[in-house]
């Protein structure tokens, strides 16, 4: 082993629940970010996509949180991450602990997505998000920033450890952020079948940019792993998973963006590309979590 290898590292047994949490957390953050950004910077034609995002984000964050809670050794104590258990209701905040920061992000994201969800389901978007209502814009802005943070903080969480691979490259937070937002936009693309073509094109264009950023950060992540991290990836079957992320999750979708006629048209290409992006996003979380723990997690 290389000299900077820590021989006494322990694995946390973060298994499939955490893979699912990381994946759905990224998707959820990305969905709300896209919807909110369309709300803030788009036009009236984008309203249908915004409304789909508002309907999706809150149920998805509940599902993500469920995965996180189920994985805890003591699920009934999940609230200890939000409040000081011995001095309730004082909030439990440790900004230098990414997991504590994540609880704060989940709180803000949950609040914003809840308000948007209630507005959409019970008032068809006319309560907060009615045109000209500044409150809706504030909710969108807070939710979008929290969504970006939600997509990226899981990468920072694994980086701020002493674990091989996870702690070896700081690019992992950027990688997760681009992947999360990309998968969120991809999900919105898949579900936005009745939106105006311009909105569809906007989402497709955004996903293209995000995929290019993700591809660059994936390469940066892999080349900055150092001797220890590289050994844990390239000397193990985990390398195959990263290959799947690279080819299936990034190169093929980008190729479809570039040559949509090969898939039978722009709509089919964008749909197929979105499916591949979602697969790549899931496999990326699996690959990263499996690197020090093994494929079976």
What part of residues 50-79 is at the interface with another protein (CB under 8 A)?
72-75, 77-78
Task: By CB under 8 A, name the one of 118, 127, 160, 190 that touches another protein.
Answer: 160
Nearest by Cα to 214 from 181, 241, 175: 175
Would you give the binding string for another protein spanning residues 256-295, x where CB under 8 A is met?
-x-xxx---xxx-x--------------------------
CB 130 within 8 A of CB 136: yes
Judged by CB, which is closer to another protein: 211, or 283?
A: 211
103 binds another protein (CB under 8 A): yes
Which residues are CB-contacts of 225 (< 8 A; sequence separation ≥ 6)?
165, 168, 169, 233
- The Cα 262–Cα 269 span in angstroms is 8
Judged by CB, which is closer to another protein: 4, or 134?
A: 4
Judged by CB, which is closer to another protein: 195, or 277?
A: 195
Would you give the binding string for another protein spanning residues 184-203, x where CB under 8 A is met?
--------xxxxxxx-xxxx
Sign of the alpha-carbon torsion through 7, 221, 26, 250: negative
Task: By CB under 8 A, name the one of 60, 206, 215, 274 that touches another protein.
Answer: 206
Residue 5 has φ and ψ, to the nearest 5°, of: -70, 135
Tell me how far CA of residue 119 lies from CA of 30, 46, 54, 191, 192, in angstroms.
Answer: 20, 17, 8, 20, 19
Of 123-152, binders to another protein (CB under 8 A) are 144-145, 148-149, 152
Count of residues that bind another protein according to CB under 8 A: 91
Q: Could you say which DSSP state residue 91 is in? A: B
Task: By CB under 8 A, name the one of 28, 113, 116, 159 that touches another protein.
Answer: 159
46 binds another protein (CB under 8 A): yes
Task: By CB under 8 A, name the one of 108, 114, 213, 255 that touches another protein.
Answer: 213
Q: Could you say which DSSP state residue 249 is in? A: I
Judged by CB, which is closer to another protein: 63, or 99?
A: 99
Of 233-252, binders to another protein (CB under 8 A) are none
State the DSSP string of 163-201: -TTTTT-TTHHHHHHHHHHHHHHHHHHHH-TTS-HHHHH
162 binds another protein (CB under 8 A): yes
- The Cα 129–Cα 3 span in angstroms is 56
Judged by CB, which is closer to another protein: 28, or 181?
A: 181
Task: By CB under 8 A, name the one of 13, 70, 135, 243 that touches another protein.
Answer: 13
CB of 13 to another protein, least distance (A): 7
Tally Cβ neighbours within 10 Å of residue 85: 12
Which residues are CB-contacts of 26 (< 8 A; sequence separation ≥ 6)?
150, 151, 154, 176, 179, 180, 181, 183, 184, 281, 285
- The Cα 37–Cα 23 span in angstroms is 21
Length of the chain: 297
Judged by CB, which is closer to another protein: 137, or 196?
A: 196
CB of 114 to another protein, least distance (A): 22
121 binds another protein (CB under 8 A): no
CB of 129 to another protein, least distance (A): 16
């Amino acid at each position: 082993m290389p000299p900077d290898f820590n021989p006494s590292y322990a694995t946390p047994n973060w298994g499939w629940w955490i893979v699912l949490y990381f994946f759905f957390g990224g998707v959820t953050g990305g969905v709300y970010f896209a919807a909110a950004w369309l709300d803030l910077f788009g036009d009236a034609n984008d309203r249908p996509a915004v409304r789909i995002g508002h309907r999706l984000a809150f149920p998805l964050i509940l599902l993500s949180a469920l995965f996180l809670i189920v994985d805890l050794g003591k699920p009934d104590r999940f609230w200890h991450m939000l409040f000081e258990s011995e001095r309730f209701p004082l909030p439990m905040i440790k900004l230098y602990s990414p997991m504590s920061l994540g609880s704060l992000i989940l709180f803000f994201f949950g609040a914003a997505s809840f308000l948007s969800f209630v507005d959409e389901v019970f008032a068809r978007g006319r309560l907060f998000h009615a045109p000209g209502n500044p409150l809706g814009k504030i909710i969108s802005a807070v939710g979008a920033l929290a969504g970006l943070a939600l997509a990226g903080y899981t990468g920072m969480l694994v980086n701020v450890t002493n674990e091989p691979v996870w702690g070896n490259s700081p690019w992992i937070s950027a990688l997760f952020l681009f992947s999360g937002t990309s998968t969120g936009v991809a999900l919105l693309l898949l579900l936005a079948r009745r939106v105006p073509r311009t909105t569809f094109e906007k989402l497709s264009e955004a996903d293209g940019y995000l995929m290019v950023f993700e591809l660059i950060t994936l390469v940066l992540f892999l080349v900055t792993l150092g001797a220890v991290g590289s050994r844990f990836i390239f000397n193990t079957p985990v390398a195959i998973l990263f290959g799947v992320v690279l080819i299936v999750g990034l190169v093929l979708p980008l190729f479809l963006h570039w040559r949509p006629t090969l898939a039978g048209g722009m709509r089919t290409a964008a749909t197929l590309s979105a499916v591949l992006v979602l697969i790549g996003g899931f496999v990326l979380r699996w690959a990263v979590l499996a690197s020090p723990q093994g494929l079976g997690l």
